[in-house]
A and B are shown apart, each in its own frame.
Chain A
């Protein structure tokens, strides 16, 4: 471990703000992106199922 203590690790010798803000923003952006992708996937899966149900309903009706 390069730093003596956890505080030193956070401070990173007066560069802490820059390092952590850079990583923070990157993490937020990546997280947002993955979350959107997961939501889109779930939505698409719902669509397929809904479409199948609707088709089943039409089939029984006719």
Chain B
């Protein structure tokens, strides 16, 4: 088991191997991702039963929850890539961070916006300092921080390494921020109406949610692979192997 892991690690760690195999993988992954996402969303929108309390406004959950969890997963993935990049100085790690950050930030923004829109029919206002919305807002700020740092440093490799360190520091803090915001919420308002408890959902609602989550993760993976390929092309544009592959 351990040999295959290290073999995998070295293979996927080299930009050349990554470029070729992601080229093979992507034509399959894109349709699969889009299909899963469409199935999940359409099922949730059209076929899932209405919620007895909130009527149909809860259907926003089929984009809000997947986006929120994907944004969090994306940030943790960036932290892991950052750690690998710093400890083993792996070239691909910096490239992965540059590939994950944009879509992660978009997903965090989507989670925030859909959460706010969902708040209107449920709580009567667009913005409520609810623990989850607030920690999603801070997640968006963390993403923007990584973005701003990457653009502020001219040299791409140095920017990659600086972003790695910030991601590692950020990941450690994301957990602390989440709990401190949760505690902060209980300090000021007591526990608010839980929007919809995931576990308490009946199966007809849970199934489309899980499928759309899978869809968002696959979609996320596709954009990450595509951006990573772009970054490899930018960084390796003078190398010979790239010209053969692209000829």
Which residues of A are interface residues toward B (Cβ below 8 A)? Answer: 1-3, 9, 12-16, 18-19, 21-23, 25-26, 29-30, 32-34, 36-38, 40-41, 44-45, 47-49, 51-52, 55
Contact = CB atoms under 8 A, between A and B. Distances in A.
A22 B121 CA distance: 12
B237 A37 contact: no
Contacts of B41: 23
Contact of B227 (A9, A23, A37): A37
A26 B48 contact: no
Nearest to B237: A48
B143 interface: no
Contacts of A36: 102
Given A12-B56, A18-B57, A47 B233 contact: yes
Contacts, number: 103
Contact of B56 (A19, A23, A52): A19
B233 A41 contact: yes
Interface band, chain B? 35 or more
Contact of B114 (A13, A25, A34): A25
Contact of B106 (A22, A33, A52): A33
Contacts of A51: 237-238
10 contacts: A1-B47, A15-B54, A19-B60, A23-B41, A23-B60, A25-B110, A37-B226, A40-B230, A41-B227, A41-B233
Interface class of chain A by DSSP:
helix
Contacts of B118: 18, 22
Contact of A48 (B48, B54, B59, B243): B243
A26 B113 contact: yes
Given A13-B56, A29-B109, A48-B243, A22 B47 contact: no
Interface in B96-144: 102-103, 106, 109-110, 113-114, 117-118, 120-121
B166 interface: no
B119 to A, nearest CB: 9
A61 B145 CA distance: 47
B103 to A, nearest CB: 6
Contact of A19 (B59, B227, B238): B59
B91 to A, nearest CB: 16
